[in-house]
Structure 1
Amino acid sequence: MILPSRGSCAHTHTHTHTYTHTIPPAGGAEHTHTLQCPSPGAIPRRLRGVGSCNAPASVAPLTAVSLAGLTEEDSVYVFKEDEMIEYDGEFAADTLVEFLLDVLEDPVEFIEGDRELQAFDNIEDEPKLIGYFKNEESEHFKAFVDAAEEFHPYIPFFATFDSKVAKKLTLKLNEIDYYEPFMDKPVTIPDKPNSEEEIVQFIEEHKRSTLRKLKPDSMYETWEDDMDGIHIVAFAEEDDPDGYEFLEILKDVAQDNTDNPDLSIIWIDPEDFPLLIPYWEKTFDIDLSQPQIGVVNVTDADSIWMQMDNEEDLPSAEELEDWLEDVLEGEINTEDDDDDDDDDDDDDDDD
């Protein structure tokens, strides 16, 4: 187990289901509604516009089935209008609150000028979509909104009705661009105008990006999307000079290999998971005060890490690409590390 089990951060000794639903304002007046049910300490008891309830596992199955056919323990589900959203992040109060606040936002944000356009450009570490439509009454815009609700709040959707903004983005009417994380150039969804089904299908096919960041609010979804039982994992602290430099190298490699469907690197900033740093260092036998990249088996946590020729020098983009090519071709794998351990055991037996 590389990540803590679901719900393990909750301050409770029983398996639980938590159901959270958003409460629309009545008559335009904001109000707070809280269900007085047992709840783990990691789940906020009071959040404006949100009600939550924690159900012990002994009674949750019937409740879950009656709600939506849900039976998975240690899970959080958010119900907003007719949409159900499964929370795939850590059970920490601040992370949950931020997630719920994001859920309360509209699934599509509007770009009306340079300020909003700059904010859009600044989003780098998550996928994003933007479409250009005639107005809010456009059937193609409505299909865009329906698709956005399917991925809200994990993937941000943006729209503009301004021809000047669209021109800066090189968007044609009813055209939708998809930006992969850390990529400067978008991919246009083909065959405009697009239906909700076409937009959803396109995102599902492109959701696994070449370089993706492990985030507290979606870490389980990311980790469970492995490549044949392994992940290529890069640790780099963005605020550290070496970590920042290594991250820039990773971005260059990702941009050069964005068309390779077999390559996907998970970037972990250790500062986002301070409580897991000692665990990762012990499990992988690495020093996270320095940038690291390796291959991790998701089943048994076996791993093998790139050896730097000089600890003071980071690998170049070319050296990193060569190493990744060896990984993808199977020349570097976690079984090699097992073989080394077996050899060490044999030497001990000879003694």
Structure 2
Amino acid sequence: MKWGWVIVGVLLTLGALSWAETGLEIPEYDGKDRVHELTPKNYKSIMKKYDVMVIYYHKHVQGNRAAMKQFQIEELALELAAQVLDDMEDQDIGFALVDEKKGAAVAKKLGLDEVESIYVFADNEIIEYDGELAADTLVEFLYDVIEDPVEIIDNERELKGFYNMDEVIRLVGYFKNFIEYDDAAEEFHPFVKFFATFDAKIAKKLKLKLNEVDFYEPFMEEPVTIPGKPYIEDELVEYIEQHDRPTLRKLEPHSMYEIWEDDIDGEHIVAFAEEDDPGN
């Protein structure tokens, strides 16, 4: 993922950024260095300290004044995200840099293959972050990463929340046991939303039979029931990969580059509208 043209201008003021959805704030930078620089000698010991590791594989900017200035902005975004997440009780999340020239050996060992990309190492998985390099957006994404891959719907409030997520691909199933479903969810976490219920009343409102899974495309009111229940992990993975196709999508900061790369014959049609406009 290329970051060179991204200007995170709001960070230059070091002002407070509000995160409206949760009420959290990105504070002013306190000056403490939390972002590590990985080398062949230290990368193993540093990565062992954390449950989740966020690595920015960046260009070698030494000697290029403009590139160095841009890199300082990007590094500041990482420092602010690290500062916000520093006091988490359940998870230790670390941040680090790998220079494409000085850290080439580390990049090869870790499987980093695209310069100017952010990689998240969590639960023996490597996740490439396809969003804006801004502290608030990155923090929001990392909260999604550490959540369970399957969200359980237990009540009417949670069911309403599920229906309100019409802008994303999501699946929902009704189970007594969902091991295969959970394993499939881990393959796509956190990019595809998986939901499940064990409640017969909730399942009835979702029009689900036992061991059945419905697949919702973005902005489509009616789902498609995945054929072949009861499912095994490979069947679910194959179905999602076949149906994760370019459709109407909402451009959001945490996934905008992924959507932008998902073109049809090199073309996009982009509509600009007010989110709360009932005519859109």
How far did 1:74 drift? 0.8
2:115 corresponds to 1:78: no
Task: Measure the CA separation in 2 of the matches of 1:51 and 1:112.
Answer: 33
Which residue does the alignment assign to 1:40?
Answer: 75
2:228 corresponds to 1:191: yes
2:118 corresponds to 1:121: no
Which residue does the alignment assign to 1:6?
Answer: 3
Contact 2:100 2:107 in 1 (8 A): no
Q: How does 1:136-215 map to 2 (within 5 A)?
A: 138=177, 141-215=178-252
Give the letter for the 2:191 counterpart.
Y
Q: 1:110 to 1:41 in 2, by over 3 A?
A: same
How far did 1:149 drift? 1.2
Task: Measure the CA separation in 1 of the matches of 2:148 and 2:102.
Answer: 33
Give the letter for the 1:42 counterpart.
A
CA RMSD of aligned residues (A): 2.9
Q: How many equivalent residue pairs?
A: 221
The SS at the match of 1:54 is strand
Q: 1:209 to 1:227 in 2, by over 3 A?
A: closer
The SS at the match of 1:211 is coil
Q: 1:164 to 1:34 in 2, by over 3 A?
A: closer
The SS at the match of 2:270 is strand
Q: 1:33 to 1:99 in 2, by over 3 A?
A: closer
Task: Measure the CA separation in 1 of the matches of 2:186 and 2:136.
Answer: 23
Which residue does the alignment assign to 1:95?
Answer: 137
Which residue does the alignment assign to 2:253?
Answer: 216
Task: Measure the CA separation in 2 of the matches of 1:167 and 1:79.
Answer: 38
Which runs of at least 4 in structure 1 moved beyond 6 Å after TM superposition?
19-22, 32-35
Give the letter for the 2:203 counterpart.
A
Task: Measure the CA separation in 2 of the matches of 1:64 and 1:150.
Answer: 23
The SS at the match of 1:217 is coil
Contact 2:170 2:216 in 1 (8 A): yes
Q: Which sections of structure 1, spanning at least 5 residues, go unmatched?
A: 25-31, 248-351
Of 30, 33, 57, the residue aligned with 2:100 is: 57
Task: Measure the CA separation in 2 of the matches of 1:93 and 1:227.
Answer: 31
How far did 1:9 drift? 3.8
State the structure with bigger RCO (CA 8 A, min sep 6), 1 or 2: 2
How far did 1:209 drift? 4.8
How far did 1:97 drift? 0.7
The SS at the match of 1:40 is helix
Give the letter for the 1:207 counterpart.
D
Contact 2:246 2:263 in 1 (8 A): no
Task: Measure the CA separation in 1 of the matches of 2:252 and 2:245.
Answer: 14
How far did 1:6 drift? 2.2
Deviations 1:140-198 (A, max 9, x none): x1111111112111211101111111111111111110111111110111111111111
Q: 1:9 to 1:57 in 2, by over 3 A?
A: farther
Which residue does the alignment assign to 1:296?
Answer: none
Task: Measure the CA separation in 2 of the matches of 1:196 and 1:42.
Answer: 37
Task: Measure the CA separation in 2 of the matches of 1:123 and 1:186.
Answer: 13
The SS at the match of 1:230 is coil
The SS at the match of 1:59 is coil
The SS at the match of 1:102 is helix
Q: 1:33 to 1:221 in 2, by over 3 A?
A: closer
Which residue does the alignment assign to 1:132?
Answer: 174
Give the letter for the 2:189 counterpart.
H
Contact 2:53 2:96 in 1 (8 A): no
How far did 1:112 drift? 1.1
Give the letter for the 2:257 counterpart.
Y
Task: Measure the CA separation in 1 of the matches of 2:53 and 2:128.
Answer: 21
Give the letter for the 1:55 counterpart.
V
2:236 corresponds to 1:236: no
The SS at the match of 1:51 is strand
Q: TM-score, normalised by structure 1?
A: 0.58
Give the structure with higher Rg (CA). Answer: 1
Contact 2:151 2:195 in 1 (8 A): yes
How far did 1:60 drift? 3.0
Contact 2:150 2:196 in 1 (8 A): yes
